[in-house]
Structure 1
Amino acid sequence: MIKFRDLPDDHPDLAYSPLLRAAVLTLRYAEDNGGIGLTQAKAFKRTFVKWAAEHFDWPGMSSEELFRYNKVLNEYDFPPLELLHFLLLELKLGRHYKGEFRATKLGKTLAQQEGRLFDTVIPFYVLNIDHSSYGRFDEKPMGNWDVWLNVLNVEMDSGATDHDLYQVFYGNDASWRERAAFASCVLLPLEWSGLVFRKDTNRDGQNERHYFKSPLWRSVLKLDTNEALKGARPH
Structure 2
Amino acid sequence: MITFRLLSDDHPDLAHSPLLRAALLTLQYTRDHGAIGLTQTKAFKRAFVHWAVEHFDWPGSSAEEMFRYNKVINEYEFPPLEVLHYLLITLRLARHFKGEFRLTKRGAEMAQAPGKLFAELIPFYVLQIDHASYARFEERPFGKWDVWMNVINVEADHGTTERALFEAFYGEEHDWDNDGWREMAAFSSCVLRPLEWAGMLVQTHEERGAKYVHHVFKTPLWRSTLMLDTDDMLRPVSVQ
**Band the TM-score falls in, shorter-chain normalisation:** over 0.9
Q: What does residue 86 of structure 1 align with?
A: 86
> 1:70 offset after TM fit, Å?
1.2
Which sits farther off after the overlay, 19-28 or 204-213? 204-213
> 1:234 offset after TM fit, Å?
5.0
> 1:212 offset after TM fit, Å?
0.3
Write out aligned runs for 1:77-156 (5 A). 77-156=77-156
* 1:183 equivalenced with 2:188 (yes/no): yes
Corresponding letter in the other structure for 1:79: P
* Alpha-carbon distance between aligned partners in 2 of 1:168 and 1:134, rounded to the nearest angstrom: 25
> 1:205 offset after TM fit, Å?
2.3
| 3-state SS, counterpart of residue 31 of structure 2 | helix
> 1:233 offset after TM fit, Å?
5.1
Which sits farther off after the overlay, 85-94 or 172-181? 172-181
* Alpha-carbon distance between aligned partners in 1 of 2:8 and 2:146, rounded to the nearest angstrom: 25
| 3-state SS, counterpart of residue 225 of structure 1 | helix
Corresponding letter in the other structure for 1:36: I
Corresponding letter in the other structure for 1:50: H
| 3-state SS, counterpart of residue 84 of structure 1 | helix
* 1:224 equivalenced with 2:229 (yes/no): yes
Q: What does residue 204 of structure 2 align with?
A: 199
| 3-state SS, counterpart of residue 234 of structure 2 | helix
* Alpha-carbon distance between aligned partners in 2 of 1:178 and 1:61, rounded to the nearest angstrom: 24
Corresponding letter in the other structure for 2:18: P
> 1:118 offset after TM fit, Å?
0.1
Q: What does residue 220 of structure 2 align with?
A: 215
> 1:209 offset after TM fit, Å?
1.1
Superposed CA RMSD in Å reads 1.1
Corresponding letter in the other structure for 1:116: K
| Percent identity over paired residues | 62
Corresponding letter in the other structure for 1:200: H
> 1:178 offset after TM fit, Å?
0.5
| 3-state SS, counterpart of residue 59 of structure 1 | coil
> 1:228 offset after TM fit, Å?
1.3
TM-score for the superposition, normalised by structure 2: 0.95
Q: What does residue 3 of structure 1 align with?
A: 3
* Alpha-carbon distance between aligned partners in 1 of 2:203 and 2:52, rounded to the nearest angstrom: 22
Q: What does residue 39 of structure 1 align with?
A: 39
- Provide runs of 4+ in structure 1 moved above 3 Å: 232-235
* Alpha-carbon distance between aligned partners in 2 of 1:180 and 1:208, rounded to the nearest angstrom: 14
Q: What does residue 172 of structure 2 align with?
A: 172
* Alpha-carbon distance between aligned partners in 2 of 1:46 and 1:57, rounded to the nearest angstrom: 17
* Alpha-carbon distance between aligned partners in 2 of 1:131 and 1:173, rounded to the nearest angstrom: 24
Corresponding letter in the other structure for 1:44: F
* Alpha-carbon distance between aligned partners in 2 of 1:202 and 1:193, rounded to the nearest angstrom: 26
* Alpha-carbon distance between aligned partners in 2 of 1:180 and 1:96, rounded to the nearest angstrom: 34
| 3-state SS, counterpart of residue 194 of structure 2 | helix
Which sits farther off after the overlay, 119-128 or 203-212? 203-212
> 1:208 offset after TM fit, Å?
1.4
Write out aligned runs for 1:49-64 (5 A). 49-64=49-64
* Alpha-carbon distance between aligned partners in 1 of 2:95 and 2:173, rounded to the nearest angstrom: 45
* Alpha-carbon distance between aligned partners in 2 of 1:234 and 1:28, rounded to the nearest angstrom: 42
